[in-house]
Amino acid sequence: MATDLQNRYEKVRETSKTPTKIGEGPRLLGIVVGVAALLALVVTAFSWPVLNSAPREVPVAVAAPAPAVEALSAQLSAVAGAGAFEVTPVDDRAAAEQAIRDREVYGAIVLGPDGGEVLTASGASPAIAQSLAQLAANAPEQVGGPFAVTDLAPLPDADPRGAGLGSAVLPLVIAGLVSGAVSGLAVRGRGRQLATLAALAVVGGLVVTGVVQVWLGAIPGSAWVNAGVLALGIAAIGAVALGLVRAIGVPGVGLTALVMVLLGSPLSGAQSAPEMLPAGWGTLGQLLPPGATGTALRSVAWFDGAGSGSAFLVLGCWLLVGLLLLLPARTSRAGAQPLV
């Protein structure tokens, strides 16, 4: 009898040690649903802006008599759709050219005694320059068409489609994210973390410039200046990642990736132009480091820095945000990490 009771007791003990399977199904289902939702979010973030890309209130200058300006505005609306272009009258060709070089407009239409001419700037936006070139070719004879086309900021021969700058945005974001994560997770002490981030940003800027400009020849201008712009962009993203890691730990890397990769990269407008994105989203993209870096790089590489002020201001603000996130660590984590 005692032996039988002992055997039953041992069986009960063994059964109690066996992990329960209750709840495994819902947990696995939750994982599958979560991964599927994340995948859908990533695909939507990168596909939706591209599929909905079209000119929206793109600033264009027109140098022509008043009646011709109205006719050209109507022609622009007929070709590209109502609201696609925002026409700004200017006095003459010189004023139109200056407006393009100052990055106040993306292109211009000039009507003179010798016929019409369309001024473009492929360096500002290859997509918009192509749209204006198509307009020039299809301009009706009533307004002096077809027009000649002059590109004031042509693309390099090695990259006639202007894909190089746009393709550098995602690697730039990843470089900033990794730099901030490594500085925050692998280095102790705020001073050393900042020094590591600065070094990684400089190296990242040089590497991206070395590949995209020196090797592939996709960007003109000074390689050193372009590398500085890219380093600033990497530092702005990395500073936010570092600050969030210091503040909330590893989840800070995921939060930074959510903002910079899923929002900043597809909304940067680097492949086309901010005005080509759906209303409001282009503006949001320019308020994030990827979009601001792309705009600053275009301005520096093709336009001697014209129109880059707001982009550098955005990058400076994000860099400041990252540095401010480091301040609470002085008291909350002073015992965990020595200060330098």
pLDDT in tens, 83-95: 788 888 999 999 9
What is the dihedral sign for C-alpha 34, 37, 43, 49? negative
Give rounded-to-5 percent helix, strand, coil for the chain. Answer: 65, 10, 30
User: Using one digit for the tens of pLDDT, what is the confidence trace for 278-330?
Assistant: 888 889 999 999 999 999 999 999 999 999 999 999 999 999 999 999 886 54
pLDDT at res. 4: 59
Let me know how many helices (H) and strands (E) the chain has, helices first: 14, 5
Give 127: exposed, middle or buried? Use CB within 10 Å, 0-12, 13-18, 19+.
buried
Going by C-alpha positions, the residue among 266, 228, 268, 232 that lies closest to residue 125 is: 268
Residue 17 Cα to chain centre, angstroms: 53
What pLDDT sits at residue 71? 74
Domain residues of the chain, as ranges?
Answer: 58-151, 163-332
User: In DSSP terms, which residues pair with 89 in a beta bridge?
Assistant: 62
pLDDT tier at 7, thresholds 50, 70, 90:
low
pTM of the complete model? 0.84
Residues in the chain: 340
Cβ proximity of 213 and 223 under 8 Å: yes
What value does the mean pLDDT take over residues 231-239? 97
d(CA 92, CA 296): 28
Question: What whole-number percentage of the chain has pLDDT above 70?
Answer: 87
